[in-house]
Amino acid sequence: MLNFNEKTSVLYHDQFDYPLNFSDLIKWQLAKPLIINRNLEVINKRGFYFLEGREGLIYKRLLRKRISAKKMKIAQRASKVLSFLPGIRMVAVTGSLAMQNSSEESDIDLMIVTSRGMLWTTRLFAYLLLFVFRFSLRRPKDKNQKDKLCLNIWLDGSDLTWSKKDRNLYTAHEIVQIAPLVNKDKTYEMFLWQNKWTLSYWPSAVRIQNKKYEAQRSGSLSTILEPVAFWLQQKYMKPKMTREIVTKTRAIFHPQDWGKVILGRLSP
């Protein structure tokens, strides 16, 4: 028998068509249960917990796990190529693929962390490199997303902490679920440490070590190239921008505010 906290965790993941197994219930334990205005009937079948009437999610999760394995191979190949760039400190899978919950038509979301002061120079060379190695890249308003790389989060190593106004249950989950593929100089651990606020929502999702880390500094060449690379890319993107975040130390491309959608569904 699940307690109410565990039931609301099942409810949260139901928004993503993702039934939980026993280990998931432990990992995705909420710091405090969601406030809802309805009774929750949770069924346990074949080792999965799901809301009443949602038994079909068992098959969907197993199917999406196989689909995700194929997409992960593409992400691993891309991350290996990107790792040769000196400005790359971390490449991580995010979104549905990080949860092994990708559909057949899903793209492949990646988050990139660069050395301090090298975000826009590294981003420019990263796209050139992926183009040379003939990876399929998702473009703005591209309806065909299947197996295309979507490098939608870029962070400078000096600016890893999520702002307070963007901290919520959804964002915390998105952060702690990421799966690093390239992790130089413990950049992943540094990223988690600087976003340890996530534990106030999902206290058992990751282990965050009580340490401080230093961002890798850029070389002298980037000091010359970085302002030019930023100006060129910002000029190219400006006519297409909607709610994207573009600064000298971060570039986040999420035209759809899924956090608002998901949390709106869960509001009492």
26 and 90 housed in the same domain: no
> Angle at CA 178, nearest 5°, toward 186 and 262?
145
Residue 44 pLDDT: 97
Question: Are residues 156 and 104 in contact, defined by beta-carbon separation less than 8 angstroms?
Answer: no
87 and 47 housed in the same domain: no
22 and 113 housed in the same domain: no
Residue 60 is assigned to a structural domain of this protein: no
pTM: 0.93
Average pLDDT of every residue of the chain: 93
Maximum Cα–Cα distance across the chain: 62
Condensed to tens digits (0 to 9), the pLDDT of residues 84-128 reads: 999 999 999 999 999 999 999 999 999 999 999 999 999 999 999
Task: Considering only CA atoms, give the Rg of the chain.
Answer: 19
Give me the DSSP letters along 106-134.
Answer: --EEEEEEE-BT-HHHHHHHHHHHHHHTT
The number of folded domains in the chain is 2
Condensed to tens digits (0 to 9), the pLDDT of residues 71-96 reads: 999 999 999 999 999 999 999 999 99
**Tens digit of pLDDT per residue, the chain (268 long)?**
899 999 999 999 999 999 999 999 999 999 999 998 888 999 999 999 999 999 999 999 999 999 999 999 999 999 999 999 999 999 999 999 999 999 999 999 999 999 999 999 999 999 999 999 999 998 877 788 999 999 999 999 999 999 999 999 999 999 999 999 999 999 999 999 999 999 999 999 999 987 666 666 655 556 789 999 999 999 888 877 777 889 999 999 876 788 889 999 998 7
CATH number of the domain encompassing residue 100: 3.30.460.10
Token pair of 191 as six digits: 């990223």
Question: Are residues 32 and 203 in contact, defined by beta-carbon separation less than 8 angstroms?
Answer: no
Range of the domain at 41: 4-55
